[in-house]
Amino acid sequence: MSDFGRNFLPGPTDVHPEVLAAQLTPMFSHRSKRMQEILAAMQPSLQECFGTAQPVFLSTSSATGLIEGAVRSGVRQRVLVATGGYFGEYFAKTAEHCGKQALRIPVEPGRAITAEQLAAALDTHKVDAVAVVHSESSTGALADIPALAKVVRAKSDVLFLVDGVTSVGAMPILMDAWGVDFYCTGSQKAMALPPGLGLGAASERFVARASQQRDAGFYLSIARMVSIARQNLPIWTPAVSLIMALECQLARIARDGGWPIRWARHRAMLGTVERWITARGDVKLLAPEGARSPAISSVLLPDGADPAGLIRTLEERGYLVGGALDPSHGPLFRIGHMGDLTPAHLEGLLAVVSELLG
């Protein structure tokens, strides 16, 4: 399948041919002045994407690597985790595998934790960090990060860690203004690069704690990543080809009008799905109106429908979509409408889905 605009997986997303071609740049020293200049030139755009004045650092890992780094660097003993989907639970399990205590706040699938629920949990449990998935890729639910951050900030020594894997790059993120201590994403989501790069940012509060953590690790030490990023150098040997793809992608985003235009296109794609849902009447979104991700839609089919069969037939017709990560969520399939895809691409997919559903 070579046609761009037919991959609607929740990740890895479709990569524009120009970005793919950038990876063919001949290798050069990652310790060179050239690399330093490339990384320095990318910082303003990346900082706008994250909404921060802090350096945005790169890790040759998936976003999971940065989540583990955040747990090791930012959680002393106990972290409160909102678990309303696969990736909330994933965060909690990551913490436990790092030797931390994860206190789960169960949330109904398709919903996001509310500020009231978080406040009640923090009044009940003494923790040193809170972790929330901004855009839950398994359900399409979008958390109200500004409201949640306000609750966390009322606790003076509690850090707020956010998995922004499918929100960063798809919508405005105001990390500093909201008071979030850690945000991360992966290259293969709304950034629309091949997999292999983690991108993150950390507050001064986070770095201060991380610098004192005895078990922060080495390769995934967030304090080390921030320190090296301030020098516009890579930590360790990076995936040079992916950095060249990132440089190309940021140039394309600027050429197309900047981040606000990209964010608006993601909102438009969510609107395309919502109008399609309304027009059909026999399908619905798992996440409620007003709390839906601009990057992912989990579409519930009528009872008795065969989502696996639909996914197979779509692939035969040249389209890729995702399946459910938890069977208990019902008969659904997931559409990743992010990156360089457009509403026109999405309308093509939905027309075929309508044809197959009848």
103 lies in the same domain as 189: yes
Q: Residue 279: which residues within 8 A CB-CB, separation 6 or more?
A: none
Q: Is 354 helix (H, G, I), strand (E, B) or coil?
A: helix
- Asked whether residue 4 is assigned to any structural domain, the reply reads no
Q: Are 157 and 127 in contact (CB under 8 A)?
A: no
Across the 358 residues of the chain, what is the mean pLDDT of every consecutive 10-residue run? 86 97 97 97 99 98 98 98 96 98 96 98 97 98 99 96 99 99 99 98 98 94 97 93 99 99 99 98 97 98 94 98 92 98 98 96
234 lies in the same domain as 170: yes
106 lies in the same domain as 240: yes
Instruction: Please count the CA atoms within 13 angstroms of the CA of 168 that sit on its side-chain side.
Output: 29
212 lies in the same domain as 270: no
- Asked whether residue 3 is assigned to any structural domain, the reply reads no
268 lies in the same domain as 234: no
225 lies in the same domain as 245: yes
Q: Which of 209, 88, 77 is nearest to 143 (CA)?
A: 88
- Asked whether residue 302 is assigned to any structural domain, the reply reads yes
- Asked whether residue 104 is assigned to any structural domain, the reply reads yes
192 lies in the same domain as 163: yes
Residue ending a domain, among 209, 228, 254, is 254
pTM of the predicted model, to two decimals?
Answer: 0.97
Number of domains in the chain: 2
250 lies in the same domain as 265: no
- Asked whether residue 307 is assigned to any structural domain, the reply reads yes
Q: Are 123 and 154 in contact (CB under 8 A)?
A: no
CB neighbours (10 Å) of residue 6? Answer: 20
183 is in which domain, residue-wise?
Answer: 18-254
27 lies in the same domain as 123: yes
225 lies in the same domain as 269: no
Q: What is the CATH number of the domain that holds 25?
A: 3.40.640.10
Is 309 buried (19+), middle (13-18) or exposed (0-12) by CB count in 10 A?
Answer: exposed
Residue 2's pLDDT is 55
Share in percent of the chain as helix, strand, coil (round to 5): 45, 15, 40
3-state per-residue secondary structure call for 296-339: EEEEECCCCCCHHHHHHHHHHCCCECEECCCHHHCCEEEEECCC
Residue 90's pLDDT is 97
Residue ending a domain, among 254, 288, 312, is 254
Residue ending a domain, among 254, 288, 303, is 254
The full DSSP string for 120-172 is: HHHHH---SEEEEESEETTTTEE--HHHHHHHHHTSTT-EEEEE-TTTBTTB-
Backbone angles phi, psi at 270, to 5 degrees: -60, -45
